[in-house]
Structure 1
Amino acid sequence: MKNAVRAILFSLAFLAASPALAAVPENAAEIKAHLEFMGYEVSYFKDHMVAKHPIHPNFLLSQQASGMIATKPFKSNATGKQNRAKLLAISNDLNAGALAARYYIDKENDMVVEAFYPGSYSKQSFTLFIDAFNMMQKQVQADLKLLSEYFE
């Protein structure tokens, strides 16, 4: 288990140092069918799959490096847009406790959470990845409710 977490963290570090080369995931039709089976409505936007769910948080999915990356933006409000230093401190705190995700503030001062799925698609491991990503996002949303001064 520790080796798997280390491999994911290494992949994230490599990904952070790599140029963004997003594309629709390989096996997009199979992944789309899988997400639809899990209750998502799936569409395409530019180089991403867009997954929307009535209960779980929505996210983008794209092929990147040697795997896929799931991305969830959290919009900052007017106060957040004017307090980049505070948003950076929040993302640093979240990164300190993260095992297989990264948090950053983008150029619009919105927070983004990303998780990397290494390797090629497998139904069982992808289901576990999406379940873990959803649990992580729900925790972030709960944390952000406490920080509603900065986020929509």
Structure 2
Amino acid sequence: MKQRILSILVDNTAGVLGRIAGMFSRRGYNIDSLTVGVTADPRYSRMTVVCSGDDDVLEQITKQLNKLVDVRDIKILEPDASVIRELILVKVRVSQANRQNVTSIAEIFRAKVVDVSVDSMVLELTGSKSKLEAFLQLLADGNEILELARTGVSGLSRGSDYVLVL
């Protein structure tokens, strides 16, 4: 099973997210990750959708999305031709004895310590999925992760080839 990351430019109107999610639901496709935000032009939003399936399913998803009225443009974000990032926030239980260890792990991955209390720390890290997974694996070794929040994938293609002309 392959994964595909789609950058979808849509009209910034009420119900767009529901119509796109409904298309996935009606056809039995799964959304692995979904991130939505307004663009520099407030008339449009960018949706970054990570979906998986075989080649036929992934092609069908792209074709079905292109049929939706709200969809203005779809780009497939290829890993070697795109900048793809995800953000995580991790709350870790810390004692006085292991606080420096957690801080050292954060420094190695260039994570930020965004909150500290007597018995926990909240760390913020942005990067590729593999970087985040390596960070979590190292952090979980000997530490208790209390909470974890992930934003989902966001991405843009490299270069200046993404021009919308209406």
Greater RCO, 1 or 2 (C-alpha within 8 Å, sep 6+) = 2
**When the two structures are superposed, what TM-score results if normalisation uses the length of structure 1?**
0.34
Instruction: From the CA coordinates, give the structure whose radius of gyration is larger.
Output: 2
**Counting helix residues as a fraction of each chain, which structure ranks higher?**
1
**When the two structures are superposed, what TM-score results if normalisation uses the length of structure 2?**
0.31
**Counting strand residues as a fraction of each chain, which structure ranks higher?**
2
